[in-house]
Amino acid sequence: MTRAANLTVPERKALRLTVLCLALLGGAGLFLGYPNPVYQLPPLILLFPACLATFSRIMPGAKSCFHASWLCATIGNSACLYWISVPMHDFGMVPWALTLPAVLALGAYLGLYGAIFSLLYRLFRRRLPFFAALFLVCPLWAALDIAKEYLFTGFPWVSLATAFIAWPDWARAASVVGSSVLSGLFALAAVALAEARPVRLSPGLAPSPAPKKRQRVCAAIAVATLLAIYACAFIPPLPQGRSVTVGLVQGNVDQNQKWDPAYQIGTLSRYLTLSEWTVNPSMGRLAKPVDVILWPETAMPFYLETNAPLADRLAAFSTRFSVPILFGAPGRSDRPDGTGFYNRMWLLTPDSSGRQFYDKGHLVPFGEYVPLNIPLPFLEYLLQGLDFIPGASQAPLRTGDLALGGLICYEAIFPGLARQRVADGANLLVNISNDAWFGNTSAPVQHLHLTAMRAIEQGRYVARATNTGISAVITPRGEIAARGSLFKAEALAGTARLVTGLTVYHRIGPFLLWGCLILTFAAVAWSLRSRRRGGE
């Protein structure tokens, strides 16, 4: 490959045009492959890793490779996360023009992972045997996905594997290897396809053409990888226990009124009325009453500890219809250093055995607390004067033979949290959320698909209730068995089954992920010590 300093002016112009086209192609593939407001076609997301790998092949230097890949990944991630601007504008009163830097900043941060992938693949490709470098694509991509889950509190929102929830048979392999390694396998297939095609550039820019035999082997690797992924669609589900009917209630409460004390009684009445449709046979909505009712995150905008009249109405409804109610409401407790506020999931049971609750452990930075007390005026409305603290207990909430593993809102995007709930004994995962902040955008669908990935990984049904949608019951195969509408007050019911078995991923997940991290670090260390191979 010709060094940048040796390129002629026409070659530099050709290179810049190629970089721009590839960056737009890869970014568009990420956007159109992931849930979006235009049209989703999951396989298009494979253009993203393919373009990153192409930068590794054609760019004259490491610096230019990093910058080109960062541009591509920033475009794609910013497009997928365009909805970040909606709560800033609608609730934080920030002008639209000023929301753009926030979207681009988050997109650029996530874009760093794509740039690092391209840079390291370039290093592997030049310092290691070709097919060793190619097969390192999977653990490298998985390791970067794992880093996104943990660094800076974590934000693993956009992933290759989750795009295929729209075609759930292609996501079923997550029950064996998890979403991070599955994303790595999709990346391997995409990069192998890219390597199977010669790069067509001007003679001064194009790398040495790969042998025809290598191109054919790369194509075979890509096809074999995709067939192996799809073969997991035929893995039988875990043994399932009894079926339960879950009532899901979304109140569609206006976010601008929700925290107004004058609307507290009306909000409670709305949820009780909608819930009665699912439990009162005389209203004729269902063939049989539900076994448990789910309301969304912070469905009740008051403290049960201090508002006895409204809390008593809730308990009376549960007792009258002999049905447990699981719902979100803020919690508080007095501590030596002052009052602590929690984003809490409550469970009321009809036997009056006391209230159980789970406090959200993984909070949203700038949405539920302000890191380092950074002064940002537009957050005042979003936080409602509350600065939540994380909870400690992760035990399932239990009633009868139900062991409900709680995931509040944002927690459903973290594979490790769902795994911990199952390890603690949950036989049904529940996700309560409030996506009203994001309006009629792609965020509710993206959030739903991320939650569905947790169902596949852990082999559990997931019951999900949200304020404005999308409420759903998700099967362990990632299929949406019951689904609500967006921005509609409604009650629906879905059938779930209680599962106690463990998936392959649940058993080997930590070892698999550590293996990807160790293998990636070892490959980087070995590559840095090796001499550059000729002919590439």
Q: Which residues form the catalytic set?
A: 297, 360, 409
**The tokens of 221 are what?**
């690797």
Give the C-alpha separation, 361 to 28, whole Å. Answer: 35
Element (H, E) at 345: strand 338-348
Task: Report the Cα 519 to chain-centroid distance in Å.
Answer: 25
**Helix, strand, or coil here: 496?**
strand
DSSP assignment letter at 460: -
Burial category of 406 from C-beta neighbours within 10 Å (exposed 0-12, middle 13-18, buried 19 and up) = buried
| Type of residue at 221 | I
Give the C-alpha separation, 467 to 489, whole Å. Answer: 8
| Type of residue at 340 | G
Give the C-alpha separation, 36 to 179, whole Å. Answer: 20
Give me the helices (H) in 96-211, please: 96-127, 130-135, 137-150, 160-163, 174-195
Measured CA to CA in angstroms, residue 39 lies from 29, 43, 386, 532 at distances of 11, 12, 38, 43
Phi and psi at 322, nearest 5°, equal 50, 50
**Helix, strand, or coil here: 429?**
strand
Element (H, E) at 419: helix 415-423
Burial category of 106 from C-beta neighbours within 10 Å (exposed 0-12, middle 13-18, buried 19 and up) = middle
Element (H, E) at 164: none
Measured CA to CA in angstroms, residue 286 lies from 244, 277, 362, 398 at distances of 14, 8, 36, 25
**The tokens of 96 are what?**
């639209």
Task: Report the Cα 299 to chain-centroid distance in Å.
Answer: 22
**The tokens of 43 are what?**
């396989």
